[in-house]
Amino acid sequence: MSNIAKTTQQKIRGHQCLHTGDISCAQPSYKQVEDFLSQADTLCLKRKQRFTDLRKQVLSLICRSEQPLGAYALLDLMKEAGRSAAPPTVYRALDFLQEQGFVHRLASNNTYLACAHPQHQHEAVFLVCTQCGYTQELHTDGIYKAVESRAKQVGFKVVHTAVEVAGLCAQCHDS
């Protein structure tokens, strides 16, 4: 592995956001999770949305996870924490969090991960390691516009675009 790749991997594993230096794009620290939840609360207040305890707990669990989580994994974690909820309740919380831009849904495995920058709209591609499950949000420019442009040329109206790239993370690639 090159020195640049090692440094980049250390920054990612070390929880430093490579985009803005703010909230991490991968496995945030405890302080970052608390900051993220506070930011989500503030955004909900501005948007006149209710950030209920359940929604906050679901978002917290997603933020603290080393890998994207599905609804049933979230239910299990909630039970361990002493809170029971029915699957539809968790799915409604996930829908809300996704609508607010706090989480992204990975369609390939129906799991959710925290959005690195929920305060603004942005294009993102997800790099998903097929060996260990590590997932990283990679910010891009132009990919979604190119897809929409080509779709428009063939008379197709795009409603939602999500790009997931399967491969091996630097750690798995080198081992």
> Phi and psi at residue 125, in whole multiples of 5°?
-115, 140
Residue that has been written with the tokens 């516009």 in this structure:
145
Query: Can you tell me the distance from the alpha carbon of 85 to that of 74, in angstroms, rounded to the nearest whole number?
Result: 10
pTM for the model: 0.77
pLDDT tens digits in sequence order for the chain, 175 residues long: 333 333 333 333 333 444 443 343 445 555 788 888 999 999 999 999 999 999 999 999 999 988 899 999 999 999 999 998 999 999 999 999 999 999 999 999 999 999 877 777 777 889 999 999 888 888 787 898 999 999 999 999 998 888 999 999 999 998 8
**Secondary structure in 3-state letters for the chain:** CCHHHHHHHHHHHCCCCCCCCCCCCCCCCHHHHHHHHHHHHHHHHHHCCCCCHHHHHHHHHHHHCCCCECHHHHHHHHHHCCCCCCHHHHHHHHHHHHHCCCEEEECCCCEEEECCCCCCCCCEEEEEECCCCCEEEEECCCHHHHHHHHHHHCCCCCCCCCEEEEECCHHHHHC
Domain boundaries, the chain: 3-174
- Where on the phi/psi map is residue 26: left (φ > 0), alpha (ψ -120 to 50), or beta? beta
pLDDT given for residue 119 in this prediction: 75
**CATH code of domain 3-174:** 1.10.10.10
